[in-house]
């Protein structure tokens, strides 16, 4: 009798494994587990469509935030995903001012493109960070000592191989900022097991965490709660990212510097 009961129990277990876990239970376990510990779990049918982060997301009238296609089923971490950021009055004012000044917003396009290409980054995202950090002013200086177009601390720049005292130079500032972004991308790719995926194909929620980390430090890659200032910063970068301010209207090498690879624009001669 005991052998018969044991056989029935064993048969039931084998059948359960053959059929597979209940989808609802699986989603619940993923949601409650570590952040994307199951980053590569494939999904099919309506559920996959519901969690797909590869659609174009409108940015409240300021263009489109581009969420690159994701090949993975991934539960977006809580407390940060901002699919439709709403522009504040302060942002609208800054946006309108910058939109009317392409001579200001586009003057570093070739430097942004070169640095982004070097690290495999999305140049529009880099330009959006510049817009949010310094509004394209190479002389920008934060109360905490961050400098230049991408507001990098001199100590951080030195660690990245860029002289901290040269951050006000547009080329060096962009070089340091993109190098730091590349460090954050590399850390995120390792944390969320995204090997084989290009940085430009990052799911939107990963991009948001990288933006938050640029503002709040690398630990933000794994946080579940964020200060309001960081959340507002992410919204601001996303709004710029999907706007005409981050369009590229100049080529990789401006005509005035053609044939002079060593020549760089002087800050005091920029408009």
First to last CA, the chain: 91
Classified as helix, coil or strand, 244 is: helix
Assess contact for 66 and 207: CB atoms under 8 A: no
Q: What is the pLDDT of residues 130-173, one digit of tens each?
A: 999 999 999 999 999 999 999 999 999 999 999 999 999 999 99
Angle in degrees, 0-180, between the axes of helices 170-191 and 204-216, rounded to the nearest 10: 120
Asked if 242 and 59 count as a contact pair (C-beta separation under 8 A), the reply is yes
Q: Is 133 a catalytic residue?
A: yes
pLDDT of residue 255: 46
- Band (253; pLDDT cuts 50, 70, 90): low
Closest CA to 179 of 107, 264, 136, 116: 116
Return the percentage of the chain with pLDDT > 70, whole number: 62
Q: pLDDT grade, residue 226 (50/70/90)?
A: confident
Instruction: Report the pLDDT value the prediction gives residue 80, as an integer from 0 to 100.
Output: 67
User: What DSSP assignment string belongs to 182-225?
Assistant: HHHHHHHHHHTT-TTS-GGG--HHHHHHHHHHHHH-GGGGG-S-
- Residues 46-87 have pLDDT tens digits of 323 222 332 222 333 344 444 443 443 344 455 566 767 888
Instruction: Identify the CA nearest to 110 among candidates 253, 9, 264, 267.
Output: 253
pLDDT of amino acid 3: 56
Mean pLDDT of 17-30: 35
Count up the domains in the chain and report the number: 1
In this prediction, residues 175-186 reach a mean pLDDT of 98
Please indicate, yes or no, if residue 126 is contained in any of the structural domains: yes
9 domain-assigned: no
Has residue 257 been placed in a domain? no
- Residue of 133, 135, 159, 171 marked catalytic: 133
Does the pLDDT value for residue 106 go beyond 50? yes
DSSP bridge pairs for 57: 65
Residue 144 CA to residue 105 CA, distance in Å, equals 25
Could you tell me if residue 14 is inside a domain? no
Report CA-CA distances (Å) from 112 to 60, 94, 159, 194, 244.
26, 21, 21, 25, 16
The DSSP letter of residue 48 is H
pLDDT the model gives residue 180: 98
Q: What percent of the chain has pLDDT over 90?
A: 52
Q: Which domain holds residue 202?
A: 48-252
Fill in the DSSP letter of residue 121: -
Q: Which is more confident, 251 or 158?
A: 158
- Within-domain flag for 42: no
Instruction: Tell me the average pLDDT of the chain.
Output: 73
Q: Is residue 203 part of a domain?
A: yes
70 vs 116, more confident = 116
CATH classification at residue 158: 1.10.530.10
Residue 28 counted as domain residue: no
Of 3-12, 137-146, 259-268, give the lowest mean pLDDT range: 259-268
The region, left, alpha or beta by phi > 0 then psi within -120 to 50, assigned to residue 104 is alpha
pLDDT surpassing 90 at residue 129: yes
Cα separation, 115 vs 171, whole angstroms: 9
Cβ proximity of 129 and 214 under 8 Å: yes
Average pLDDT value for residue range 31-47:
28
Name the 3-class secondary structure at 122.
coil
- For residue 247, name the pLDDT band (cuts at 50, 70, 90): very high
25 domain residue, yes or no:
no
């Amino acid at each position: 009798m005991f052998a018969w009961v044991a056989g029935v129990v064993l048969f039931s277990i084998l059948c359960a494994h053959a059929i597979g876990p209940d989808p609802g239970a699986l989603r619940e376990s993923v949601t409650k587990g570590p952040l994307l510990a199951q980053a590569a779990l494939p999904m099919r049918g309506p559920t996959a469509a519901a969690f797909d982060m590869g659609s174009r997301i409108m940015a409240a009238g300021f263009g489109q935030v581009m969420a690159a296609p994701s090949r993975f089923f991934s539960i977006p971490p809580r407390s940060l995903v901002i699919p439709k950021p709403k522009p504040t009055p302060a942002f609208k004012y800054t946006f309108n001012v910058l939109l009317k000044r392409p001579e200001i917003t586009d003057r570093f396009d070739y430097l942004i493109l070169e640095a982004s290409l070097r690290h495999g980054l999305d140049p529009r995202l880099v330009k959006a960070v510049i817009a949010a950090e310094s509004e394209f002013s190479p002389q920008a200086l934060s109360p905490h000592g961050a400098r230049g177009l991408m507001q990098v601390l001199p100590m951080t720049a030195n660690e990245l191989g860029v002289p901290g005292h040269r951050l006000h130079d547009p080329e060096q500032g962009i070089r340091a900022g993109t190098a730091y972004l590349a460090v954050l991308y590399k850390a995120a790719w390792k944390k969320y097991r995204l090997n084989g995926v290009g940085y430009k194909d990052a799911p939107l929620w990963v991009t948001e965490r990288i933006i938050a980390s640029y503002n709040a430090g690398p630990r933000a890659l794994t946080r579940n709660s964020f200060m309001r200032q960081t959340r507002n910063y992410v919204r601001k970068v996303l709004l710029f990212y999907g706007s005409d301010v981050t369009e590229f209207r100049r080529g990789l090498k401006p005509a005035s510097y053609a044939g002079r690879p060593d020549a760089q624009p002087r800050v005091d001669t920029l408009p």
